[in-house]
Amino acid sequence: MVNPTLSQKKEQTLSVGDRAKKLFQAVYFEQNTKDNLSDNIPRISVSDLISKMSFYYEKIRNSVDYKEEHLLRKNAIERILKRQIVIEGTISMRALNSQEIAKHLITELIRAGYLPNNTLPEYKIDEISEVIKKYLHLRDYSAQSLKGRSIEQKNTILRWIIAIAASDIEDRLGRNKVDLAVIDHIYEILANNIELPDNSPHIEDREIQIYIGIHRNMLKFDNEMLSYILFRYYIENWADADDNTIKQTAADIVDLKEIIDAQINHPFTGQLNRLIKRYAVFFSILVDVISENPEKSYEALRLDHGEFARMVKEVCDKRYKQARAKLWRAGLRSILYIFITKSFFVLLLEIPAIKFFGEDVNVLSLAINISFPAVLLFLIIFFTRIPGADNTQKILEGIEEIAYIEKERNEPFKFRKAGKRGGIMNTTFGLFYIVTFFISFGAVVWALDKIHFTWVSTIIFLFFLAFVSFFSIRIRKSAKELYVIKQKENILGFFADFFYLPIIVVGKWLSEKFSRINVFVFVLDFIIEAPFKIFVEITEEWTKYVKERKENIE
């Protein structure tokens, strides 16, 4: 039997590594660094009363165009840039002024609640203006270099440039020292421990793949934001780019986008994601532990391993509860979004289509079509599992590997070659997948026919079944991303996944197509938003005018 006293002494010999010390310092300084701007420096301020209109408008818009919460501000930046550059710029037929665009952009973000009011210094407008100016020049030069190309390709490139500009601006508004420290630490660990297969053609991509993989999994960057990172990687002097650099970048813009897309869809992305996700959880939990009390947690880490383990477990339990709350919050947003779009389909499409084709309106099928998608999503969320004690123990072990010198990893992660199946096997699997596709959808159609669904109602039911099935995968990510242990599989789950996968794949395809033709988003963005923003702008100017008059009277 192991002597507990000896075990305790052995634990007390553990030494805190430099990597953990630097992380403690970063969190401590972030918490204790105050706004060092002088009170005399003018700040960007908007009317709190008028801002409420923009805030609630943004809430309504987000309810009909589901996006993940951490991407809302970046997507708002991109939407505002598109409206000012593409729509308003085209209609007004005047030269675009980057200073005006920057001012309107930041003001709208503050009104919508994406940035704090009366906090940002006014010189931030000049900084963002310079960023916008570069991308406007890049867009203009790219439009010239794309002459002779198809309209679709040209529009794709020009939209991509605006998306990168939005990601650049978001990056300047959203980074903090703790995130940068975490990125450096994860990169150091993985860069020193990942081994690619011998004679791999991707050796040169290893470092940049690790870097964008960390941003994808730790900071939840989407493809547009990853494109921005890769854009800066390939155009090294973009921060100080002159006119010649911008022209040269525009001349090579098509090839550049192809190279960036290839990096985003790299063969090693899957293996890297699985590995980085684990370290992202380890570091995010450790940062939470430190943030609660840097001095106390550091002393516990250094002197009392049992106390530190207790602190880690408390944070894990808190994060699991937050994940559950976030899951339900995202679920309710999705249910609202689906209910609105479903009701729209039933009232404006399903009932008229049924009558047009001479079918009888079945009240039961209409009720099922309206309620089933929301009920299905509710049940999926309800039965989503949250990690438990075994997962917490694995997180604790991962944090100890990060924090203690004696427990640092000394065995490399060996990546395997991306497997390629033969033509016969791919054909066989493809045919088998087609069979499961018809079985899955055929079973649903058969069941609907038994309760007298018309063919119009059946099509709409299948559409939303696939749509909700894919939606559920997206909104469950907040709970699933905390898992660092492999979840147990059972025979029931295997067959459920086997026949449910075709439905999810169709839902993914429909989601991508439907997001482009979302009638609610079209109405809000192209018909309502521009006049609404003008109304808000005029109303705010009027309130300032009234306030000035009142001050003169007093």
- Residue-wise pLDDT tens digits, 162-176: 999 999 999 988 777
**Domain-embedded: residue 80:** yes
Mean residue pLDDT across the chain: 80
pLDDT value of residue 474 = 75
Q: Report whether pLDDT(153) > 80.
A: yes
- Report the number of distinct structural domains present in the chain: 1
Q: Residue 196: pLDDT above 70?
A: yes
Give percent of the chain with pLDDT exceeding 90: 25
pLDDT at 480 over 70: yes
Q: Residues 265-281: what's their mean pLDDT? A: 90
Residue 93: the pLDDT is 43
The verdict on residue 476 lying in a domain is no
pLDDT of 214 strictly over 90: yes
Q: Which residue has the higher pLDDT, 201 or 170?
A: 170
Residue 4 has pLDDT above 60, yes or no: no
Let me know: does 85 contact 101? Beta carbons within 8 Å. Answer: yes
Instruction: Compute the distance between CA of residue 121 and CA of residue 130 in angstroms, rounded to an integer.
Output: 16
- Between residues 12 and 281, the one the model is more confident about: 281
- Whether residue 408 is contained in a domain is answered as no
pLDDT digits (tens, 9 = 90+) for 247-264: 999 999 999 999 999 999
| Residue (of 205, 147, 138, 194) closest to 168 by Cα position | 138
The verdict on residue 247 lying in a domain is: yes
- Predicted confidence at residue 57, as pLDDT, reads 66
pLDDT at 547: 61
Taking only the tens place, the pLDDT of each residue in 52-73 is 666 666 666 665 555 667 788 8
Instruction: State which of 61-75, 197-211, 308-322, 535-549 shows the largest mean pLDDT.
Output: 308-322
User: What three-state secondary structure class fits 361?
Assistant: coil
Rg (Cα) of the chain, in Å, rounded? 27
Read off the pLDDT of each residue in 2-12 and give the average, rounded to a whole number.
43
Q: What is the extent of the structural domain holding 234?
A: 66-174+224-260
Mean pLDDT of 296-313: 90
Q: Compute the average pLDDT of residues 366-372.
A: 78
Q: Is residue 135 part of a domain?
A: yes
- Domain-embedded: residue 150: yes
Whether residue 343 is predicted with pLDDT greater than 80 in this model: the reply is: no
Q: Average of pLDDT values for 384-401?
A: 91
Angle at 293 between CA 288 and CA 298, to 5 degrees: 90
Cα distances from 319 to residues 297, 400, 405, 482, in angstroms, run 17, 19, 27, 8
Angle between helices 253-264 and 223-234 (to 10 degrees): 120
Is residue 92 included in any domain, yes or no? Answer: yes
Residue 3 has pLDDT above 50, yes or no: no
Band of pLDDT at residue 203, cut at 50, 70 and 90: confident
pLDDT of residue 422: 59
Domain presence at residue 98: yes
Helices (H), 451-490: 455-475, 477-480
pLDDT for residue 515 is more than 80: no
